[in-house]
A and B are shown apart, each in its own frame.
Chain A
Amino acid sequence: MKKFLLTTALTAMAAFGSSAAQAEQLKVAIIESFSGPTAQTAIPFVEGMRYGFSKLNAQGGFNGEPIAVVEYDALNQPAAASEKLKSAIAEGARIVFTSTNSAVAAQLSEDIRKYNLRNKGKEILLMMAGSEAFELVAEKCNFWAFKTASNPFIRIKALVAAMKDTGKLGSKVYSINQNYSYGVDHERAQAASVAAAGSKIVGSTLHDVSKIQDFSPYIASIKASGADTVLSGNWGNDIILFMRALGDSGIKVNVGNTSLDTTGAVSAMGEAALGALLVKLYNLEAGGEAGKAFAEDFKSAIGHYPYNEEPTGVFSTLLLGAALKAVSKPNAKVDTLQIALALEDASYETPAGSWSIRKDDHQVILPVTVSEISKDARYKVDGTDMGFKLLKIVSPEDSAVPADPKCKMQRP
């Protein structure tokens, strides 16, 4: 899966060969799982990055040279990702992108931290575009790693606020999540946000990840608690099966979730999904004309609308682009420390609002969108007549949560 991206990369190599004395070319590695179970969530991110880098190269690249991008398959295993990182560094990569798998992101972040300690002056920069785990900006925060993804606390805060504003937050809330660090963070975030909104948690469950075949017992449990709203951080099969069992039972509750938009999920859930709320980093309906132009331009470049995680990939790349622009000098060497410092001050204006990095923990501060699965949506997904209708954009100031005190960043 190691293939050179776009012909620009190849022509760049040729140019590099002919003018070796000139500026050092910036090489970027995308280390992501192209095979295995998480490939389906990874590929949209990578498509977004491809689009983003083609934009940056169209604007002149970095230091007067096009940026070369190489993709590596992380095989969905932290150990394999670590191996691919070595290979990427050997081939000259200075900036690494990764997305979905937080375990892979954590591994890369640690490896890079150690590599940078051992190789002063040749530091590597990591962009985590889509790794949601909260630890990455808490215990594991790292000066060289930038998290251009949200986390359970940001998402749930925005979701509950939007639900309250639109009258979709009932007084009794049930919280169902997966039993591992990410789900536990969701449970905590839900408890805090619901209490802040003046409603009550009437029940909460943690269940095994991706092992439950039949969710109807949980539905019975929700029914017994008398809840009128359900919040969940479930992803993958766990949300699809849950929505189906809920639809089958005929119980009417409002549902708020973070992953209803996975490719294939809407078609797998069918009509049972109608009315459910999704909190995401971006919705295609945002930003009026600018948003429309972005959707169409992406479609003409990549071949489909960026329904899914593609925008996160695009905006992360373009946020890096803003930092690169600030330090780009013709015929200079690549200095990742300068880029990192510039990234701390950079901001990028997306159609939904502005993205910027917080210096304390390198968490991106960003607008968050809340949408409803509806037949009135402008962009339909999965070949169904349903899509995500934008309900509300929560501004960066309102969605932000304070930096975690556990983050003790060591600055060079």
Chain B
Amino acid sequence: MLRLITLALVGAVLIAAPLFLEPHSIGVLTTALIAALFAMAFNLLSGRAGMLSFGHAAYFAIGGFAVIHTMQAVESGAIWLPTPLVPLMGGVAGLIGGLGAGFFATRRSGVYFSMVTLALAEMLHALAPNLGGFFGGEVGLTSMRMPWLAFDYGSENQVYFTVLAWTVFGIALLYAYNQTLFGRLTVGLRESERRISFLGYNAHHTKIIVFGVSAMFSGIAGGLLAFATESMNYSMLGMGMSASVVLHTFVGGSTVFLGPALGALIFALFGSLVSDLTKNWLLYQGILFVLIMMFMGDGLAMLWIRIVNECRSRNWDALRQRVLLLIPGLLITVGAITILEVTSKILDQQQYATSVARMNAWPPVSVFGVSWDPTSALTWLLPLVAILVGIGFVYLILARKMQQRTGTIIMSREPAR
């Protein structure tokens, strides 16, 4: 019940977003939705089927290029296709590319599988600049959305609703897929491939199809990006894109159905907001990922579910502890950010060094609206003390928890596979 209410609430907010957000924020939300669909598609392969791909940008970009070529053909009148259906071509291209690549990649498993996907993506990335005809060279390919019925697809909102519809449709299809027998088989691949074969299924064929379906939805996501930006560039094939979808998926949590979408939304909004505040936003994104991998291996969505469960079972102790942990957490975060920001501003060769040379002194830098004098010991001690006190608190709180638990068997997770 709660789940349905939450979903309805999120849906209502997304539909009503254009009413209270300015056009630019709608653009950010559009990109976030595309990232969410991409992460969901990626998770089908890497989370549910347990085959970690490090080259998924390839299928995303293939979809994008297919759509931009389709848009060009529609623009020149060579073919007829209603504008909102154009992203479908990305799915078709993604499926074809995925089945082809999947045929090779799925012949190996585990780390070897990851390596093959990485190599395939790297090769396509290295080839793309040489094949200007298809990938458009450095300046990329562009097209224009054609009007359809009463819509001219010129406004931000029309694009947003088209992308929203496709994303919801895609995620709904993925959900339906998981409910089918084949969806269960997919999970079976992760849990025990051998048993799948003993049950009479062809594991290799199953894997190829899962790979293809995942690439198809990635292709739709790439197609949506081409549709929204009306352009495509071979930089989309780079490692950065493959890396970000891995980050999104596992930060959100690959074990919860909507986890990857949550991770993608959070990171896309984080990137858009924080990149305007500090040039170190990639560093913070990386640190966040490492911390989540170390302390909350199953992601933020699982954390949310735990909190909801604790509320339900009126487990006030656990909840009180979470709230208590927030305080030292905040201390550590603020301390670490202060140190990193002051350091990075001082070490910025371009700007700070020239002012040091000009004024022959170390001018103070501003972080959190407070100005910090780099020559004063306080600048470095204060955040450091904040971090240490924070860590101390965390230990105290955790130690008390351990004490309360003595005498009971500590449940630890079974080693996976």
Residue numbers of A with Cβ under 8 A of B are 1-2, 34-36, 39-40, 43, 72-73, 75, 77-79, 82-83, 86-87, 90, 102-103, 105-107, 110-111, 114, 118, 133, 135-136, 140, 179-182, 184, 208-209, 211, 263, 302-304
Contact = CB atoms under 8 A, between A and B. Distances in A.
Nearest to B23: A90
A83 B357 contact: no
A110 B24 contact: no
A368 to B, nearest CB: 22
A306 B189 CA distance: 61
B276 A103 contact: no
Contact of B24 (A83, A107, A118): A83
Nearest to B271: A75
B114 interface: no
Contacts of B138: 102-103, 106, 133, 135, 180-182
Contact of A35 (B137, B272, B279, B349): B279
A106 B138 CA distance: 9
A87 B24 contact: yes
A82 B139 contact: no
A335 B380 CA distance: 51
B192 interface: no
29 contacts: A35-B275, A35-B282, A36-B282, A72-B276, A73-B276, A75-B275, A78-B233, A79-B31, A79-B229, A79-B236, A83-B27, A102-B139, A106-B142, A106-B231, A107-B140, A107-B233, A118-B152, A133-B138, A135-B137, A140-B139, A140-B142, A180-B130, A180-B132, A181-B137, A181-B139, A182-B138, A184-B132, A208-B126, A303-B357
Contacts of B28: 83
Given A2-B276, A86-B23, A103 B144 contact: no
A248 B350 CA distance: 30
B52 to A, nearest CB: 24
Given A140-B139, A303-B355, A73 B279 contact: yes
Contacts of B23: 86, 90
Contacts of A35: 275, 279-282
A178 to B, nearest CB: 8
Nearest to B22: A90
A136 to B, nearest CB: 7
A301 to B, nearest CB: 11
Contacts of B349: 263
B286 interface: no
B248 to A, nearest CB: 15
Given A79-B229, A83-B28, A110-B230, 4 more contacts: A75-B275, A83-B31, A106-B233, A181-B137
B275 A73 contact: yes
Given A83-B31, A140-B139, A180 B129 contact: yes
Contacts of B233: 78, 103, 106-107
B110 interface: no
B228 to A, nearest CB: 8
B369 to A, nearest CB: 13
Contact of B358 (A73, A78, A303): A303
Interface in B99-153: 126, 129-130, 132, 137-140, 142, 144, 152
Given A35-B282, A83-B272, A182-B138, A78 B231 contact: yes
A149 B31 CA distance: 31
B300 to A, nearest CB: 23
B137 A110 contact: no
A118 B154 contact: yes
Nearest to A35: B279
Contacts of B331: none
A10 to B, nearest CB: 15
A184 B271 CA distance: 35
A86 B27 contact: yes
Nearest to A211: B126
B321 to A, nearest CB: 37
A254 to B, nearest CB: 28
B193 interface: no
B357 A1 contact: no
Nearest to A73: B275
A103 B27 contact: no
Given A35-B282, A73-B275, A79-B225, A106 B129 contact: no
A363 to B, nearest CB: 15
A409 to B, nearest CB: 16
A78 B140 contact: yes
B276 A82 contact: no
Contact of A82 (B129, B132, B154, B229): B229
A4 B36 CA distance: 33
Contacts of A72: 276
B130 A106 contact: no
Contact of B229 (A107, A184, A208): A107
Nearest to B356: A303
A302 B357 CA distance: 12
Contacts of A140: 139, 142
Interface in B378-404: none
B202 interface: no
Task: Report which residue of B139, B142, B358 has the largest number of chain A beta carbons within 10 angstroms of its beta carbon.
Answer: B139
B124 to A, nearest CB: 13
Contacts of B132: 180-181, 184
A279 B358 CA distance: 30
Contacts of A208: 126
Interface string B266-284: 0000011001100111100
Nearest to B226: A79
Contacts of B354: 302-304
A263 B28 CA distance: 33
Interface centre among A75, A77, A105, A106 (most CB of B within 10 A): A106
A173 B90 CA distance: 45
B279 A82 contact: no
Contacts of B275: 1, 35, 73, 75
Interface in B316-349: 349
Contacts of A34: 279
- CB-CB nearest 10 A-B residue pairs: A181-B137, A106-B139, A303-B354, A180-B129, A87-B24, A118-B154, A35-B279, A110-B142, A90-B24, A86-B27
